[in-house]
A and B are shown apart, each in its own frame.
Chain A
């Protein structure tokens, strides 16, 4: 992929209200991967990359740890199996014991409980996976300042973006822009928050200066 020629990137600003994030546009996965590395090395924490598909190696480049999803799914899956066992045991062995085919109304009939226990383990695990994923990603979320950018719509087509949120402790409209320019972004824009937006971005982590330049006001 060729990087754009050494011209000052085109830039614009979008929206009204407080600046929410700086959005840099790239043409290829390798460029956005390098930009993410550069941001991470410069100490940024509130930044993200946006791509039409997951990019191999991006988690390491951004310094993300492992996904926590498994920790949600595993206990809920166990709960599913336990619930199924308890339900069958209570219904068929305690509340209304039925002896079928000479198989006792007791835990000794465990083999016949396995299919339903298995199915409910899978069912609850699947629910935990889907809703756990949405929970970790804080989705659905139809309102986000990044959508104020018109160019951002091409993230789902063939463009790649880096967004640095104004809540980042290292955020500075000037320095961050310079950093992204050095990473060969071919378009950089400052995206503002909506007036009616409400609490749009996550709070800065503890210990960060509370009056960082681009602090978002509700």
Chain B
């Protein structure tokens, strides 16, 4: 239905921003966060986060000094929290790219309210993820063997190994996400430069905004660059978690050797990432008064995505069991039924199921989708559940090998816990610095979706022009 030329009221759409939002009020709301003094809560959170980062540094230093024996990894559980944390962090990053690239290609204009935020989260999550492959190799000073560099043994990496694909996938992902984010920042840093009242702000934001002057000749290439980057990032983000899943899927271990793993990992990544965006968004939105830019409508749409991806993940869990039974392979069945569903590690499996599959089901109800406390709790549960998903995949596939003599279990050590908690500290340190110094909402993009940004705005009833609104039928609105 071509509804774009009808007045908003008739097709039951709501604008993407709150009432009374103007170009000027957007600039004000977003910029003042970086210009005013940081609230006390920011300092408290920042000091805690920095402390945790320090703990991580100590834990990693101790690991380097002593060796990977300081972790709980053992025979037969050779991979444990290190890879669990790596996959968890990479997965969290994926929501940022989904919001910035995939929703952009699908013309989902509501993404403008959350994309900056989510992209920043992507970059910091990938930084946290990249800590683990580097430190889990044992002798970290040989980590450069992962790269195709000439070395004294005159050999090259084995490019048939998914671990090498992983290096390329994750480092490309980090580089491209960072560039995408920085390109998106240029016009907003120019806004900060033009508002700067002291010399240092003017110099620093001036240098970073590259002399941006909002020229239409520039916007043209800029928008094309944005489109190309979105088109590149979309297959990239799908490839990254697929390649991460190849680390498992190309092995011969039951529980890992599963063809459903790539799409299942991608769905899980988006799921956990949206949950993390939601957790962070709810807090910052309340602390910094961004309610006119991030509406309940945005949160509701995100909850719908959490519901969809959570159910996809639930389907994948069920399908793994179906294949274990249908294949008639006794080792598969032993692993899934005896080692996951039951057995000494079953508690991890059931935490995963209740957090990931059951808890998002409350979002079938509009009352829950639009309730801040409910969505906050669910987003935290999903973050926990998705961590346990990776733990279940890795540890419960390893802990009871196929001879009873090689059965073992896994217990994290303090160093494991400190390292993991420390990466959370690193993430929040980076994130808090980001909301302190960089516009946390994409100013230029949100301005572009205001009704008055349309050059045909207010030109009479028959041509209301191209308005950016939530597309939704009246029926849903009347609920």
Contacts and interface: CB of A to CB of B under 8 A. Distances in A.
A116 B165 contact: yes
Given A29-B453, A120-B172, A53 B445 contact: yes
A95 B225 CA distance: 38
Contact of A113 (B159, B218, B445, B456): B159
B236 interface: yes
A64 B457 CA distance: 23
A67 B453 CA distance: 22
B216 A122 contact: no
B455 A33 contact: yes
Contacts of B211: 139-144
A115 B163 CA distance: 11
Given A50-B216, A69-B224, A141-B211, A122 B176 contact: yes
A123 interface: yes
Interface string A1-27: 100000000000000000000000000
A206 B156 CA distance: 54
A28 interface: yes
B160 A157 contact: no
A59 B216 contact: yes
Contact of A53 (B176, B207, B444): B444
A119 B239 contact: yes
Interface residues of B, number: 71
A95 B151 CA distance: 13
A75 to B, nearest CB: 13
Interface in A130-150: 130, 132-134, 136-137, 139-144, 146-147
Given A50-B213, A133-B221, A156 B179 contact: no
Tell me the interface secondary structure of chain B in the complex: helix
B194 A157 contact: yes
A138 to B, nearest CB: 9
A155 B214 contact: yes
Contacts of B23: 52, 157-158
A129 interface: yes
Interface string B162-173: 101100110010
Contacts of A1: 452, 457-458
Interface in A66-103: 67-70, 73, 87-88, 91-92, 95-96, 98, 100-101, 103
A55 interface: yes
Interface residues of A, number: 71
Interface stretch (B79-87, B227-235, B407-415, B430-438): B227-235
Contact of B168 (A109, A115, A133, A146): A115
Interface in B407-463: 443-445, 447-448, 452-459
A139 B218 contact: yes
B312 interface: no
B159 A52 contact: no
A54 interface: yes
B213 A54 contact: no
A140 to B, nearest CB: 4
A126 B448 contact: no
Nearest to A105: B160
Contact of A92 (B156, B169, B218, B459): B156
Given A33-B455, A116-B165, A133-B221, 8 more contacts: A50-B215, A52-B187, A53-B447, A53-B453, A58-B455, A109-B160, A116-B164, A122-B176
26 contacts: A1-B452, A29-B452, A29-B454, A50-B214, A53-B447, A54-B223, A54-B448, A91-B148, A91-B159, A92-B159, A115-B243, A118-B239, A119-B172, A120-B168, A122-B239, A126-B232, A130-B183, A137-B218, A144-B211, A154-B194, A156-B194, A156-B195, A156-B214, A157-B27, A158-B22, A158-B24
Interface of B: 22-24, 27, 148, 154-162, 164-165, 168-169, 172, 175-176, 179-180, 182-183, 187, 190-191, 193-195, 206-207, 210-225, 228-229, 232, 235-236, 239, 243, 246, 443-445, 447-448, 452-459, 466
Interface of A: 1, 28-30, 33, 36, 48-59, 62, 64, 67-70, 73, 87-88, 91-92, 95-96, 98, 100-101, 103, 109, 112-113, 115-116, 118-120, 122-123, 125-127, 129-130, 132-134, 136-137, 139-144, 146-147, 152-158, 161
Report, nearest first, the 3 A-B pairs whose CB atoms are least far apart: A158-B23, A140-B210, A91-B156
